Structure formats: structure tokens, C-alpha cells
Homo-oligomer: A and B are copies of this chain.
Amino acid sequence: MTGSRAPHTTRVGFAHERELAVRLYREGFAVVRAPASGARTRRLYYPDVTAIYRGRVIAFEVKVFSKPRDVYVEEYRYRRLADFASRAGGVALLAVKYVGTGVWRVVPLELGERTPSGYYRYPRRLVEGSKTLEEVLAEVKGST
């Protein structure tokens, strides 16, 4: 959860990220959360949440906002997350929650549009039209 480094972001995410991890665990996934923010800038990059179900790997970038808005991912994190997923043979996904909706939307990382300022942008409409976490988890678990 690095929303604080993206433009116009509210940092409301830590408890929600934990809720996401617990939910994945209850769904039968092996789950690892990255250390809190300080450690995330160390040499080895970790996804916010890594979830594994019988060899199927999901690397999550987690974004939580108080209101619906466009979502930005720093180019550095975009590249590292894509690389992690590639090594793992898994998928890189953005998990977005607009607090109040109570719903996690899941957007494939590669749908981001690169901005001139070095971010990848996921428009609010894209996020709101994306699959829910439940839908994505059912797909992952069904495909094993």
C-alpha cells in the first residue's frame, strides 16, 4: 500500500490491506504481506500482498481511497510487480477499494496507461467496471 506516494492520495489503506490478506487466507490461499512501508524501499522489492493457491500466484498492489478516483501506480513499482509476477509464473493485479463501497475491485496491472510524469494510470471508470475480488478468486481457484 503505497498510495501516499502517488498524487492526491489518501492513506487509509493499512487496515484494509490486512483485511484483504485475511480474506485470501480464509479462501485457502497461502498469503504473505510485505513489511510496512519503510522496508519496502529496500533492495528486494515485495508486492503488497502475495497470494498462492496450489501453484497459482497472484501478486497484488493494494490501493485504498476514501472516495472514487483515478488510481496511479509509480513506474518503479509497476515494473517490479510485473517482474515479480513473471518470475513467479503468476499474475500482477491491482486491488482497489473505495472505502464505503465495501468492494475490492481487481484490475490487471497491464491495463494501466503510462503518464508523462512516470505513473501508470487506471481511470476510475476502469476500476469501477472491473471484476470484484470474489469473481477473480473463483476463477483462480476454479482453474487449478
Q: B-contacting residues of A (Cβ < 8 Å)?
A: 21-22, 25, 28-36, 39, 43-44, 46-47, 50, 52-57, 59, 84-85, 87-90, 144
Contacts and interface: CB of A to CB of B under 8 A. Distances in A.
B52 A57 contact: yes
Chain A's interface: helix, strand, loop or mixed, by majority? mixed
Given A31-B44, A52-B88, 14 more contacts: A21-B44, A22-B43, A25-B44, A30-B59, A30-B87, A32-B32, A32-B34, A32-B46, A32-B47, A32-B50, A33-B44, A55-B55, A55-B90, A56-B89
A27 to B, nearest CB: 10
A31 B44 CA distance: 8
A43 B22 CA distance: 9
A28 B87 contact: yes
A140 to B, nearest CB: 12
A89 to B, nearest CB: 4
